[in-house]
Structure 1
Amino acid sequence: MENSVELSTLEQWFEAYESATSSARTEAERARDYVDGNQLSEEEISALKKRGQPPVKYNRIRRKVEWLKGLEVKQRTDPKAFPRSPQHQEGAEAATDAIRYVCDNQDWDYTRSEVYDNFLVEGYGAAEVVHKQNRKGEVEVVINQYPWDRLFYDPHSRKSDFSDARYKGAVIWMDEADFLAEYPDRKELVQGLYADQGLGTSDTHDDRPKRAWVDATRKRIRVVLMWYRQGEVWHWCKFVSGEKLGSGESPYTDEGGESVCPLIMQAAYVGRDNERYGIVRDMFDPQDEINKRRSKALHGINSRQTMGVKGAVDSVSDMKRELANFDGHIEVNIEAFEDAARVGIKPFELMPTNDQISAQMGMFEDAKNEIDLLGANAALAGETGESQSGRAVLARQQGGMIELASLSDKLHRFTREIYRHIWMRIKQFWTEEKWVRVTDEEYGARFVGLNRPVTLEEQLGQAAPDEAQAIAMHLQLYPGDPRLQQPVAIENNVEELDVDILIEEVPDRVTLEGEIFEALMKYGPTLPPAVLIEADPVLPAKKKEKLLEALQSAQPSPQEQAEVEKTQSEVAENMANAQRLQIEAQTPRFA
């Protein structure tokens, strides 16, 4: 039975999150701005324009983030289900196909990349694995991704996967028409929200740019979906300012029947005050220095320091403008030069500033080097600057990969949890016969039946002829017997399958394997084909397995091999005798 929490408490929890995470969310918004190239304040842009200098930015952060996102794309792998007992060996393949079907149907690869983008920049991301009924009445497993600025969580949570959070959820902005289609009896509530214009405590979750529970201009309403834990049971509640829209216990359970929350969240890093942040935080200062040092150096190159006696030039400001022009011309007063010569001083001179410009450029290069060493470094990217062996490149890449191991491990854990929840939803809601279309690079498109009833006729057809005949005689079956069409078993019954979901994500090894393959190719004709197939770094593992099986099946048995060798020996002997007889016939005979 539901043990619901009062709406006032839920609203307090939501406001507690907004209050406790204010500075962290401001920093997250700054991180996104820096990735987007918004790295200069209005005051800085105004100062640059005032001195006639363009607001130039060298966005090194975007390159870092894009490189890491590209690495994630390159390391994508498919889930694999392994049986926990021998009796589920065949069913594990069906479980694998079912999970891959959901991933393909929901475009999971793209969703994971979107979550990883938030994970790297703002510091955390999330996806929700739920179910819905389509128009045909079939239950589909759905993966929803929420942008980071639509998420909230228990600010007392300390773990990077939010497993210790008492509550978490998402903010959903809905058009008024969609809201009333889902809640047709809440028209008065909407009008009340427009009139009240209840303001939130921050603008992070706002429907840009207005900070409120409703947007009267666009006719949009902010709805909060909160998942919270009471003891060991998860509950949900949808609400707007001052009123619940719906609530209840979580409809989702794990393999053991325990209540679970379908919203899976993951953070990159967790600070001392439980704030979540990504890799961009460490790039703020180097990026600022890159922009400012470059701007300072550019300003210094276009500027000149001068020294002279009073009256050496008619106007100092005009003289400065002429110095800024490539074809500038400065006129000096001869009287000032004569007066200066009498006392032995220089009346006018340009002061050298090369040392200042060199210092600025040196610190500019230091800042670039610092940001280049963060995250995706040259070694990991394989940019060695010179021709090196594949083994040397791999060694450098493995050294660079250590820095990313923590991020990769968290993404791996998040992905595995998504796959696990997909399998939970399948086991819980796919109770009827279902056919899934699976596409892979090995077999193309194929169909897999889940919860498929097996008739007595099919079962007898799969049995050995003697065994099938014995069963038919025992049951006194006759041709056309209606009992033959009765289901006697369920094939790939997902509710009974007991599997582990595993994934493998490893650094790219093509460099070293390619070098080994090239070395083996030198001995190509003398090596068995199986060795070359195993060493090929380009062939996928499934394709290798298929080729090796075909190669093995094509090889003759020992008895057949012996007969082939005997035949080859006989043929060789016959050819030798024929050649000998031909030579004897052509050889002259002397009496």
Structure 2
Amino acid sequence: MAVPLKKISEERYLGERETTHSQGAAGADIQPDDRVEMFSKLFREEWDKPFWADLREQVPVDFGYYTGSGQWTEEQRLAAAKNNRPVLTLNHVLPTINALIGLERQNRYDPKAAPQTKADEDLANLFTRLLKQEMVDNVGEYVLSEGFADGCIAGVVAYGLPITYERDPVNGDIEMEVVPVPEELIWVTPWRKYDLSDTRAMFRHKWIDVDLLLSRFPKDKTEIEEALESLAISAKDATREGARLTEGNPKDHYEGAEYQRPMDDPEFWFDVRKNRVRVLEVSYPEYYPKWILVSRNGDGRQRAIESTSEVRMKRIYQDLARRNPGSRWDVIERYERQIEQIICLPATGHLLQEEQLYKKDPQDYPYVPFFAYWRGNEVFGVVRNLRDPQDEVNARRSQVSWLVKATGDGWFVDQGSMQDIKTFENDSRDPKGVYEVKKSGKDPRRIPPPNVPQGLFQLIADAVTEIRMISNVNPEMRGEESQAISGVAMKHRKIEGETVNYEIYDNFKLTKRLLWKKLAKRIQEVYSDERIVRLTDPDSGGYQFIPINQRVPVDAQGKEVPPPGLRYKVLNDLGSFKYDLVMTEIPASPSHRQTALAILLDLLQKLPAIAPLVVDVIVEMVEGLPDKEKIVARIKQFVAGQMGPKKAPPPKVSVALKGEDLPQEVKAELARRAANEPDPREEQNPLGAGAGNASNPSGQLKTGGTKLNEIPDLAPPPTTGGQGPND
């Protein structure tokens, strides 16, 4: 139950509508209230409906089949023990459900706030980190998985996000809890929407010890004690008796039975023997008028002013019409839905507490359901249809064990062949004893066991196969050896099994989306003041301390100025943040991380150039690596140094010289080339053309000129004006 902080005024429930709610002590001036009788009647009608009666009966049985402790009834065990028959339990339901639970843990999601405008991107990132931090503080992943497991087994469960005030009496703390259905929570049937927004009311019911109730409401101790003492009831435990149906239609699961007033049915509300009472927490919708003033000036912009006071809205309208005679304003009346909550004691008819639940989430019920399967009037889980094949497996295996044990025990001895049969019988400790047969001259021998019909084993195998077929959990999903001959085939078989069970995971995904929307609203309500929050840095994994809702003085243009200032702006204002929630998949489980790591390593083999970009991510995904944070930090530092901006090379200096700025030597060389005159440097070269070696004008040979004629294999140089050998 939520800790009381507010109390709606007495005129509120006497019929006079008010626009504001006063705060006060919970339960002050406790008086009988018409709503207590009305909702007590409504709760008892729902309790006796076949839908809830059947669910209360089936859910414990489903959990018994999952754990294995409830696969044999107590009557069956006693009857088997009386006939010396074994009772075996070979639980195939447990690994089947665990395969579905494990698949959910491998595919977890994180909430992410998406901004509605570009200016809100930084605030959206901060809000996303707050969502993740609240999930960490409340071990949200484990709470979600716990509820998913209960939903797969029983068919339905609910989640709650209460704000408690034990540690922080001013702002409160957000908690996440799993609420069992129907053990603690029921609602008015029928309904048509998954989120139960169309149900008439929700009831959270609990048995509370009287002494704890009196300490919970100390101001009403005297009234409660006197009211309970006036009830003369028999000492019976109402919880052990179950639902007592009166007149109801078994074909209509939503049809109620004849109502009994609490004073006519006290055992249902007050357990004298255990000194405890049933307390109801009722959540129900109320509708209140709201007036909206909308501008219709034709400029493409609409401005709206909202108020819950009709008098105030008329005053605003008259003032605007007087200031702007040419403007057009329309007044729209709407009825706003608000969920309110009362805590009552039906045994005495007292109202203990009433409050409007959440300022940031006033229109939705405080609980979010998860349905494994919901079809018409039926809500059920995976276990419900696995009971019969599981019973067959247990019965057949017990039968085989009995056949082998019952006829295979005992001894045959020949008449007169044993002097002390009694001593032999005691020493053998055989329950079947010793049987004397006609003398055949053989030693004592055991009774041969019978041949068990092989058809029994085939029936057992068929029942196990039926469990897998009904649950759609194949051996690949359970990690067992299968007939698939390759890893790819096994992967496809696993995907096929997941596809058949997509309805469960889609329902759970919708539940998480609804739950995270509530979590975002709880954050806006709890984190409403200026404070510094500690958040995890997504890059380094360390902690950061970030201010939120910080008031900063600004000037008329919105620029920050030193305090004091007349104007203020709020930095990281969570209360006014408009957002959308999306779900991002994260590699939460070891097997998921290993798969992602294998994909990255394969990608590196094909694109080694991207190694500096992903090497830190690869190290973070390696399981069991010691000092992982230090290694990642050093890698990031090294990569930043390698990929950082390099020093710019020295600028190239290009000097363009004009003609009058050239040196004299250069001018002379240019003039010689323009006149096509020979280079005087070639004439000074004794090894080149200047030495008479026209074949080597550059003079690269060691000897040249006329000395080349001394080489016999070279042709003589041509003579000026002479004839060649062919002339």
Same fold by TM-score, threshold 0.5 exceeded? yes
> Structure 2 residue aligned with 1:73, among 102, 105, 115?
105
Task: Indicate conservation of the 8 Å contact 1:380/1:399, yes or no.
Answer: no
SS at match of 1:494: coil
Give the drift of 1:46. 1.7
1:300-379 → structure 2 map (5 Å cutoff): 300-304=403-407, 330-332=435-437, 354=451, 356=453, 358-373=454-469, 374-379=471-476
Q: Return closer, same or farther for 1:382/1:265 CA change in 2, 3 Å cut-off.
A: same
1:351, distance to aligned residue in structure 2 (A): 11
Q: Which residue of the other structure, out of 412, 422, 433, is the alignment partner of 2:519? A: 422
| Deviation (angstroms), 1:88 | 0.9
1:86/1:125 CA distance change after superposition, 3 Å: same
1:42–1:556 distance in 2 versus 1, CA, 3 Å: closer
Structure with bigger gyration radius: 2
1:116 matched residue in structure 2: 148
Matched, 1:291 2:372: no
- Residue 90 to residue 531, structure 1, CA distance change in 2 (3 Å): closer
Alpha-carbon contact 1:131-1:140 (below 8 Å) kept: yes
Identity of aligned residues (%): 22
The verdict on how the C-alpha distance between 1:521 and 1:389 changes in structure 2, with shifts beyond 3 A counting, is farther
Deviations 1:378-411 (A, max 9, x none): 2223434479665444322221111221111111
Q: Does the 8 Å contact 2:233/2:267 carry over to 1?
A: no
Distance 1:44 1:176 in 2: 39
1:252 equivalent in alignment to 2:358: yes
| Aligned counterpart, 2:574 | 494
What secondary structure does 1:502 align onto? strand
1:493–1:248 CA distance, 2 compared to 1 (3 A): same
Give how far 1:50 is off.
Answer: 2.5
Residue 243 of structure 1 pairs with residue 349 of structure 2: yes
Whether 2:314 is the aligned partner of 1:234: answer: no
Q: Cα deviation per residue 1:253-284 (whole Å; 9 max; x = unaligned)?
A: 557xx622212222222244x24221110111
Shift of 1:45: 0.9
Q: What is the Cα deviation at residue 377 of structure 1?
A: 2.7
Please point out which of 269, 280, 285 is paired with 2:373.
Answer: 269
Change beyond 3 A, Cα 1:496–1:546: farther
What letter corresponds to residue 66 of structure 2 in structure 1?
A: V
The answer to whether the aligner puts 1:34 opposite 2:65 as a matched pair is yes
Assess, with a 3 A threshold, how the Cα gap between structure 1 residues 388 and 54 changes in structure 2: closer, same or farther.
same
C-alpha RMSD over aligned residues = 4.5
| Alpha carbons 2:534, 2:543 under 8 Å: kept | yes
The separation in 2 between residues aligned to 1:327 and 1:201, in whole angstroms, is: 48
**Within the alignment, does 1:11 sit opposite 2:40 as a pair?**
yes
Structure 1 residues 155-170: aligned runs within 5 Å: 155-170=189-204
Which 5+ residue runs of structure 2 have no aligned equivalent? 1-11, 16-32, 244-265, 288-336, 409-414, 416-421, 441-446, 624-628, 653-701, 703-727
Q: 1:406 aligns with which of 503, 520, 525?
A: 503
C-alpha distance in 2, partners of 1:504/1:204?
47
Contact kept in structure 2, 1:64 and 1:375, CA below 8 Å: no
Residue 244 (structure 2) pairs with residue 171 (structure 1): no
Unaligned runs of 5+ in 1: 306-311, 313-317, 336-349, 473-480, 567-589
Which is richer in helix? Answer: 1
Distance in 2 (CA, whole Å) between partners of 1:430 and 1:112 is 23
SS at match of 2:358: coil
Match of 1:84 among 103, 111, 116: 116
State the distance in 2 between where 1:359 and 1:513 align: 46
The 2-side partners of 1:107 and 1:211 are apart by 39
> What residue is the counterpart of 1:538 in the other structure?
621
Q: Distance in 1 between matches of 2:161 and 2:618?
A: 39
Per-residue CA deviations over 1:479-504 (Å, capped at 9, x if unaligned) read xx7538x8732111112111112223
Q: Which stretch shifts more, 221-230 or 379-388?
A: 379-388
C-alpha deviation, 1:145, in angstroms: 3.0
Q: Which one-letter code corresponds to 1:145 in the other structure?
A: V
Please say if residues 171 and 205 of structure 1, whose CA atoms lie closer than 8 Å, have aligned partners that are also in contact: no
- Whether the 8 Å contact between 1:154 and 1:167 is mirrored in structure 2 is yes
Distance across 1 between alignment mates of 2:462 and 2:205: 42
SS across alignment from 2:341: strand
Spell out the pairing of 1:568-587 with structure 2 (5 A cutoff).
Answer: none
1:220 aligns with 2:254: no
Deviation at 1:334, TM superposition (A): 8.2
Task: Read off the aligned partner of 2:621 and give its amino acid letter.
Answer: V
Distance 2:192 2:570 in 1: 45
1:519–1:9 Cα change, 3 Å: same
| Alignment partner, residue 451 of structure 1 | 549
More displaced, 393-402 or 408-417?
A: 393-402
- Provide closer, same or farther for how the CA distance between residues 524 and 452 of structure 1 changes in structure 2, counting only shifts above 3 A: same
The Cα of 1:556 is off from its aligned counterpart by 4.5
Task: Give 1:293 shift.
Answer: 0.8
CA contact (8 A) 1:174 1:222 kept: yes
Asked if 2 retains the 8 angstrom alpha-carbon contact of 1:432 and 1:451, the reply is yes
Give the CA deviation at 1:295. Answer: 0.5
Alignment match, 1:341: none
CA 1:191–1:287: 2 relative to 1, 3 Å: farther
TM score, norm. by length of structure 1 = 0.73
Say if 2:131 and 2:520, in contact at 8 Å, map to a contact too.
Answer: yes
Letter in 1 for 2:202: K
Runs of 4+ in structure 1 deviating by more than 6 angstroms, as ranges, are: 198-202, 531-537, 542-550
Question: Of the candidates 85, 99, 104, which is equivalent to residue 131 of structure 2?
Answer: 99
Aligned partners of 1:526, 1:65: CA distance in 2, in Å? Answer: 44
Deviations 1:1-25 (A, max 9, x none): 5569632221122112211121222
Is the contact between residue 81 and residue 96 of structure 1 (CA under 8 Å) also seen in structure 2?
Answer: yes
Give me the whole-angstrom Cα distance separating, in 1, the residues matched to 2:196 and 2:638: 48
2: distance between equivalents of 1:418 and 1:546? Answer: 39
2:222 to 166, 187, 190: 187
Secondary structure of the residue that 1:52 maps to in structure 2? coil
> What letter matches 2:382 in structure 1?
I
Q: Find out whether 1:483 has 2:564 as its counterpart.
A: yes
Structure 1 residues 531 and 261: CA distance shift in structure 2, 3 A: closer
Q: What code does the residue aligned with 1:193 have?
A: L
Match of 2:179 among 141, 146, 149: 146
Distance 2:635 2:142 in 1: 31
Counterpart-to-counterpart distance in 2, 1:537 and 1:32: 39
Structure 2 residue matching 1:419: 3-state secondary structure: helix
